Chain A
Amino acid sequence: MTDAATPVELMTIAGSRLLRDGRVVFAGVGSPLEASVLAKRLHAPSLTIVLEGGSIGPRMLPGRLPVSTNEMRAAHDAFMLTSINDLFLYGQRGCYDYGFIGAGQLDQYGNVNTSYIGDPDHPKVRLPGSGGANDIVSSCREVMIMTRHEPRRFVERVDFITSPGYLSGPEARRQAGLIRSKPAAVITDLALLGFDERTGRLRLDALQPGVSEADVHASTGFELLMSDTVAELAAPTPAELAELRWLRDGNKTPAGQTREVTSAP
């Protein structure tokens, strides 16, 4: 019997299920990368993962997941190691189906702040910055954001737009010249959120198992739109949990479970 999924595991597994086989995902390090690797191992063997440091098609060594997106662990078993500009320019060219990032702070239009908390001229907190996130949301066809669902992260208006979502709506986004990509989903430990195409605002589409709508509203600092039918996400399967934990800690499978490792390109 496996232990119950942690909030981060719930969110990572929910994210992994959204990635379809045969696509290309530009993933940030941490949960987006773990979700991508999990998808590739379980249901999307022909998913190509690309990572910021120039790594195309890597397969992670379990227990040795990268701590930064450009290091040797992130290059393990890649089929192409190129320069950073080259890697990003394939994105600008339109070659990446998904852009998958984390978020420090985000708002109802999916605008992400990873730069400053407070007034940027007199900041309360300096955050790490864009890295590739701004480029990913500007170029990858479907943008997916994964983050813990906390009121301090889900704010009415971000203090600084590092990586734009819908700005203040689809027309604002179009006028800003953001025509290559589209905000698609926000995956959290409480819910799966989509974007309302008319207003560009976040909408509650599905709940994580055992989570109520009230829980989600209490952790969201703005009014969420509601889907006509709010679904409940399927609980993580033992196979998903075992695979994810193996990736993270590199420990062998519990007795009796088989682990089929697909080796597709």
Chain B
Amino acid sequence: MTTAADKRMSLAEAAALVNDGDTLVAGGCCYSRTPWAMLLELLRAQRRDLVLARNLMCYESELFLATGAAGKLISSWVGIGLRWGIPKVFREYVERDPSLYEEWSHLSFGMRLMAASMGLPFLPTASLLGSDLLARTPAREMRCPFTGELLVAVPALVPDVAVIHVQTVDASGNAQIEGPAYMDVEYARAAKTVIITAEEVVPHEAIVRSADRTQIPGFVVDAVVEVPFGSYPHECHGRYEADFDHFDAYSERVSADGEAGVRAYLSEYVVQAGSFAGFLDMIGASTLLEQRRRARELVSG
């Protein structure tokens, strides 16, 4: 939490705010508004043993597990999407060692971050009751002290770092989100350190003119990084659609070669690309523009 006026920095500088072993929560949901550029930067920086938490995870799950960047994942669902199913290498890792993965329901995961965002040690929920998820998590049954109703208490999850990608932010971190906010506001309030990447850094006056749309105040934000197409190949609401062809190619590679396919993907798009800009160059401007056009079809009037 800092109040500096200008928190802009590079992806590499922001990555230095993340320490090995940290609990990191990544914003967005599945393949939507994922802070992909920041996640690739953390892989490039060879962070180790992170606990990666995310409400729904896409194939970053297996990129982080297979490289050792994450030693544990916390989520409610891991899959690329209906068409591609569960990431194969993630599945193999967890089948070998189920303790690598802590499984919650979507709302109970959300209530953990909500509790942390409210400065409370736990919250009650009506989820998880009667399920086998209850015994495999730190959640506990509790009785309401007023009505006696049986509920489940979930412990606050306080991330060391939240990385969140938004459409617009000003230099001091006042951030505006278009489309569903997912759990990003809770993440930003819950985490000790908050990194915002954005499609555009806009003047402070532009935020002031539309202050009712500001969802994350700058005083909880530590770093601001301008990264156009920063969720790509995932989608960013109103800006570009997810690149399903890229997912197809990734999935084919991993179903053919398993973990070696994951490494080859990273070698190409993280190591050889050299930077996120290099990755976007490999995707190519015509594809990026087409994905922008497709996004406009979905949000126009």
Asked if A138 and B128 sit within 8 Å, CB to CB, the answer is: yes
Contact status B180-A121, CB under 8 Å: no
Chain A residues contacting B285 (CB-CB under 8 Å) are none
Chain B proximity of A224: nearest CB distance (Å): 23
* Residues of chain B with a CB closer than 8 A to A91's CB: 107
- Asked whether, in the complex, the Cβ of B242 is within 8 Å of the Cβ of A176, the reply is no
Q: B149 contacts the other chain (Cβ, under 8 Å)?
A: yes
Q: Is the CB of B130 within 8 A of A92?
A: no
B56 at the A interface (CB under 8 A): yes
Which A residues, 29 to 52, have Cβ-Cβ distances below 8 Å to chain B? 29-30, 52
Contact of A129 among B76, B111, B114 (CB under 8 A): B76
- Chain B's nearest CB lies how many Å from the CB of A265? 16
- Asked if B66 is at the interface (CB within 8 A of a chain A CB), the reply is no
Q: Report the bound CA distance from A130 to B105 in whole Å.
A: 5
Q: Is A126 in contact with B237, judged by CB distance below 8 angstroms?
A: no
Taking the complex as formed, is A127 at the interface, i.e. its CB lies under 8 A from any CB of chain B? yes
| A52 with B106, Cβ < 8 A, contacts A72-B241, A125-B91 known | yes
Stretch at the interface among A1-9, A15-23, A74-82: A74-82
Mark each residue of chain A from 121 to 153: 1 if its CB lies under 8 Å from any CB of chain B, else 0. Answer: 111111111111111001100000000000000
| Cβ of A125 to closest chain B Cβ, rounded Å | 7
Q: Cβ of A161 and Cβ of B82 under 8 Å apart? A: no
Candidates B83, B125, B181; contact of A92 at CB < 8 Å = B125
User: Which residues of A have CB within 8 Å of B219?
Assistant: none
Contact of B81 among A55, A68, A173 (CB under 8 A): A68
Task: State the CA gap A85–B112 with chains docked (Å).
Answer: 11
Chain B, residues 129-161, CB within 8 Å of chain A (1/0): the string is: 111110010000100000001110000000000
**Bound complex: CA A261 to CA B56 (Å):** 33
Q: How many residues of B contact A (CB 8 A)?
A: 63
Give Cα distance in the complex from A125 to B105, angstroms: 19
Residues of B within 8 A of A73 (CB): 298
**Chain A, range 48-88, C-beta contacts under 8 Å to B:** 52-55, 61, 64, 67-73, 75-76, 81-85, 88
Query: B101 → chain A, closest Cβ, in Å?
Result: 8
Using A67-B83, A130-B133, A176-B129 as known contacts, say yes or no to A123 and B180 having CB atoms under 8 A apart. Answer: no
B 25-50 to A, binary, CB cutoff 8 A, 1 in contact else 0 = 00001111000000000000000000
Q: Would you call A105 an interface residue if the criterion is a C-beta within 8 Å of the partner chain's C-beta atoms? A: no
**Given contacts A85-B107, A129-B77, A68 and B31 within 8 Å (CB-CB):** yes
Shortest A236–chain B CB gap in Å is 22
B179: A residues at CB distance < 8 A: 72, 75, 81
Is B19's CB within 8 Å of the partner chain A?
no
Report if A72-B126 is in contact (Cβ < 8 Å); known contacts: A81-B179, A123-B98, A129-B77. no
Chain B positions 201-257 with a Cβ under 8 Å from a chain A Cβ: 235, 237-238, 241-242, 244
Q: Once the chains bind, are A84 and B29 in contact (CB under 8 Å)? A: yes
Does B288 count as interface, using CB distance less than 8 angstroms?
no
Residues of B within 8 A of A178 (CB): 129-130
B264: Cβ under 8 A from any A Cβ: no
The answer to the question of B168 belonging to the interface, with a C-beta cut-off of 8 Å to chain A, is: no
17 contacts between A and B (CB under 8 A): A53-B29, A72-B298, A76-B298, A76-B299, A83-B180, A83-B185, A84-B29, A84-B182, A89-B107, A116-B98, A125-B91, A130-B77, A134-B108, A135-B127, A164-B131, A167-B130, A172-B130
Residues of B within 8 A of A (CB): 29-32, 55-56, 75-79, 81-83, 85-86, 90-91, 94-95, 98, 101, 103-108, 110-111, 114, 125-133, 136, 141, 149-151, 179-186, 235, 237-238, 241-242, 244, 295, 297-299
With A92-B125, A124-B95, A161-B130 given, can you name 5 additional A-B contacts, CB distance below 8 Å?
A84-B106, A128-B78, A128-B79, A135-B108, A162-B133
